Amino acid sequence: MIIIPAIDIKDKKCVRLTQGRMDAETVYSTDPSEVAKKWESLGAEIIHLVDLDGAVEGNAKNFDVIKKITETVKAPVQIGGGIRDIKTAELYLDTLGVKRIIIGTAAYDNPTLVTTLTKKYPGRIAVGIDAKDGHVAIKGWVTVTDEKAVDLARKLEGNGVACIIYTDISRDGMLTGPNVEATREMSESVNIPVVASGGMSSIKDIVAYKGVNLEGIIIGKALYSGNIELKEAIEAAKA
């Protein structure tokens, strides 16, 4: 299980949102590439990037900022937010050479896109499933659908998806602890590797996930607030 630090980008800045609300942001840096360098220096094996503006608008809104990050660090990056067509996917995978992209809204709205991309880029397509009260949330978490998160995950079986990044948005940015049981249900419902995201508040939360079959844990606000130190988190995950 690996620890993956998150960098959320809005208006070219590194920010954290509370429960995904675009109007509830805290700015942590005006240069996300410097933040990426910091996480790399502390041992990050992969860095998780989210284009928050892109997630809402459906395009690569902060492409230049993300390009600078990939040119600044040697650590691989994964990127999500606004990737809803082949052109945007190619922009990240071919032009920038990122490790993998994360399809969110399009996995719900346009599942054939996922199939097309997994065939063209095997092992480099992840799906982000964001859930509120167990139901899929899309378009930057603005819209909550009627579909259950685990049902969407099951539809991805056998589709070549590298992993599912599962986020409980009611916990995200709240520092209240993750929804371990919902994450466990997700990991036990599919044979696709699962990465947990949302609500991490202390090293104890990493320990709480020890009984869950996870590829990794994404940590955001807790790193920026100082509740979790990245090096300590990495050691706890390996213990």
Catalytic residues, by residue number, are 8, 130
Q: 148-185 as b/e, with b when 16 or more CB fall inside 10 Å?
A: ebbebbeebeebbbbbbbbbbbbbbbbbeebbbebbbb
Displacement of CA 12 from its chain's centroid (Å): 18
Q: Please name which of 137, 66, 58, 60 lies closest in space to residue 96, comparing C-alpha atoms.
A: 66
- 8, amino acid identity: D
**Any alpha helices (H) in 169-220, and if so which ranges?**
180-189, 203-208
Cβ pair 49, 7 in contact under 8 A: yes
**In this structure, are strands 135-138 and 100-103 parallel, antiparallel, or unpaired?**
unpaired
Distance of alpha carbon 165 from alpha carbon 198, whole angstroms = 10
First to last CA, the chain: 10
